Amino acid sequence: MQNFEQILKRCKSEYSHILSLKGKNAPRIVFILCWLAAKGEQSCWDLALEYIKTFKAREYAEWCKDPHAKAIIYHERQKENSALYRSLDLLMRKNYVEKNGSKYSLTIKGFLLAWILDPETLRNRIPELLEKSDNEIQASLERIHFPVIPKSEALSGFRRFLKNLYEYPLARKMFKSIAEASLQHILRDYKINIDEISEKELINLFNDEIIKLLRKYLKKQGQSFG
């Protein structure tokens, strides 16, 4: 996983128009998105401990040496749990995160935002997503009202996109330059506030932008697309 401080700096310089990534809660928001992307579903209590280890590493090391380490860490974890719960609530309202029981996981919208914030982690997790993400993707697609495409086809289409992107040599070569560039155009260059658009709108923008860049790439190679 990339250094969180680097991600936060990039958020401030390139994605300041996305309100969720601004202000004093930005570190928690970015942490939640990137951690869920890297590790899969987590409880708020689990996230609280990992947040402390990440952002208060020096203090945590000192607490562990204390004779009352368990009580100190438990108290700090409780405080962070409350703060993260509020951030998770915001992410759920903006449709980046969904909750199943006590566990939180990313929606497709959250997955795409996390991808642009920490692309290396997401690239490494594609094979795992192909094997394990049916329920996560289907849960996200349940909230998207496709007028023509049945939900089952939408799910298989999204999985096929990931599979092709990962497995085929040409697609793998273009992974960074096409897919990630598409997200960068949408979120950074077009200054779209992803907070205020629906999951369906984001997926459509993403797909349209990929097709544009793919056509441009293939035209340079003397080929055509669609």
DSSP line for 84-149: HHHHHHHHHHTTSEEEETTEEEE-HHHHHHHHHHSHHHHHHHHHHHHHH-HHHHHHHHTT---SSS
Burial of 136 (0-12, 13-18, 19+ CB in 10 A): buried
- 149: in domain: yes
In a domain, 225, yes or no: no
A 10 A CB-CB count for 49 gives 18
In-domain check, residue 184: yes
Taken in order 168, 170, 175, 178, the sign of the CA dihedral is negative
Average pLDDT, the chain: 78
Share of residues in the chain with pLDDT > 70 (%) = 69
Bigger pLDDT: 217 or 211?
Answer: 211
Q: How confident is the model at residue 23 (pLDDT cuts 50, 70, 90)?
A: confident
In this structure, the chain runs to a length of: 226
Is 204's pLDDT higher than 70?
yes
Distance, in Å, from the CA atom of 108 to the CA atom of 111, rounded to the nearest integer, reads: 5
Domain contains 75: yes
DSSP classification of residue 13 = H
Residue 87, pLDDT above cutoff 50: yes
Residue 22 lies in a domain: yes
**Structural domain count, the chain:** 1
Q: Is residue 226 part of a domain?
A: no
- What's the predicted TM-score (pTM) here? 0.74
How buried is residue 18: exposed, middle or buried, by Cβ count under 10 Å (0-12/13-18/19+)?
Answer: buried
- Is the residue at 40 inside a domain? yes
CA 190 to chain CA centroid, nearest Å: 19
Asked whether residue 213 is domain-assigned, the answer is: yes
Query: 97: domain range?
Result: 4-220
Tokens 């950074």 belong to 188
Cα torsion angle, 210, 106, 143, 160, sign: positive
Name which of 18-32, 168-182, 193-207 the model is least confident about. Answer: 168-182
Determine which helix (DSSP H) or strand (DSSP E) holds 43, and give its type and residue range.
strand 42-43
Residue with tokens 């915001």: 90
- The pLDDT assigned to 6 comes to 86
| DSSP 8-state symbol, 42 | E
Q: Tell me which of 24 and 134 has the higher pLDDT.
A: 24
Q: Is the pLDDT of residue 148 over 50?
A: no
